[in-house]
């Protein structure tokens, strides 16, 4: 069975409570705590994995050794969290997955122009 204490720590590390995750994913209260005795479906594991931006393999492992020191990994996890929390980011990424390089470059240029016009600065 799963180590639910560790999964609950992963949820907490992602900035959520079990209650908040269950509510956001439209699950019953305390569903995750019950995984200690009743294995979840792959759909539930996938939903949780996506929501807290943790690979399913991490949810299934029995160790806590999941430190990410590489800045590139940190950026990837932050992007995953953004997609989980902001539906418009997920839509944008989904559209970009099927776009060719020229379309992506054009969209990027348009976004940069809009940011410049609005006075937005990355600094």
Domain extent for 67: 1-85
Residue 36's closest CA among 75, 82, 5? 5
The C-alpha atoms of residue 96 and residue 105 are separated, in whole angstroms, by 10
pLDDT of residue 69: 46
pTM, rounded to two decimals: 0.51
Average pLDDT, the chain: 81
Query: What's the distance, Cα to Cα, between the start and end of the chain in Å?
Result: 47
Residues 28 and 81 in one domain: yes
pLDDT of residue 73: 60
- Is the pLDDT score of 63 beyond 80? no
Residues 19 and 2 in one domain: yes
pLDDT of residue 121: 65
Structural domain count of the chain: 2
**Sequence-ordered list of residues with C-beta below 8 angstroms from that of 62, at least 6 positions apart, any chain:** 3, 6
């Amino acid at each position: 069975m799963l180590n639910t204490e560790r999964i609950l720590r992963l949820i907490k590390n992602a900035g959520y409570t079990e209650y908040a995750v269950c509510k956001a994913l439209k699950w019953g209260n305390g569903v995750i705590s019950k995984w200690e005795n009743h294995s979840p479906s792959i759909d539930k594991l996938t939903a949780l994995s996506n929501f807290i931006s943790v690979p399913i393999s991490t949810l299934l492992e029995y160790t806590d050794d999941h430190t990410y020191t590489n800045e590139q990994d940190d950026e990837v996890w932050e992007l995953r969290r953004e997609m989980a929390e902001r539906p418009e980011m997920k839509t944008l990424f989904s559209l970009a997955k099927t776009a060719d390089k020229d379309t992506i470059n054009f969209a990027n240029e348009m976004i940069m122009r809009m940011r410049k016009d609005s006075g937005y600065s990355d600094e």
